[in-house]
Amino acid sequence: MAVYTQTLINIDSASWKIDFIICMLNDNDTEIKKSAEMSLINITGENFGQNVVQWQNWWDKNKIKFSKERTRRRAEQRMKSDR
C-alpha cells in the first residue's frame, strides 16, 4: 500500500485523491498511515501529522482554492513548454 500512496504524489492530485489519502490516515497499519501523512505533506505543503480532523478541516476550507492554484500552475507550465 505504501507504494500505491507514493505513486499518488507523482500524478495529478485531484480532490478525490486527497480525500482518499486523508481517509488512509484512519488505517490500522502504521506504514500506511505514515505513507498517507507524507503524501499529504508533499502534495499540499501543509503538515498536520496524522491528525485526520485537522487535515479534513484544512481540506474543507482549501480544496477549491488549492484546485484552482494547481490548475493555474499546470496551465503556466504548459505555456512555457509550448514556447
| One-character DSSP codes across 8-31 | HHTS---HHHHHHHHHHTT-S-HH
Whether 28 shows a pLDDT value over 90: the answer reads yes
Distance CA 23, CA 33 (A): 9
Q: Give the separation between CA 8 and CA 13, rounded to whole angstroms.
A: 7
Specify the higher pLDDT residue, 80 or 61. 61
* Residues of the domain holding 65: 2-82
pLDDT tens digits for range 31-60:
999 999 999 998 889 999 999 999 999 999
CA gap 25, 46 in Å, rounded: 15
| Count of domains observed in the chain | 1
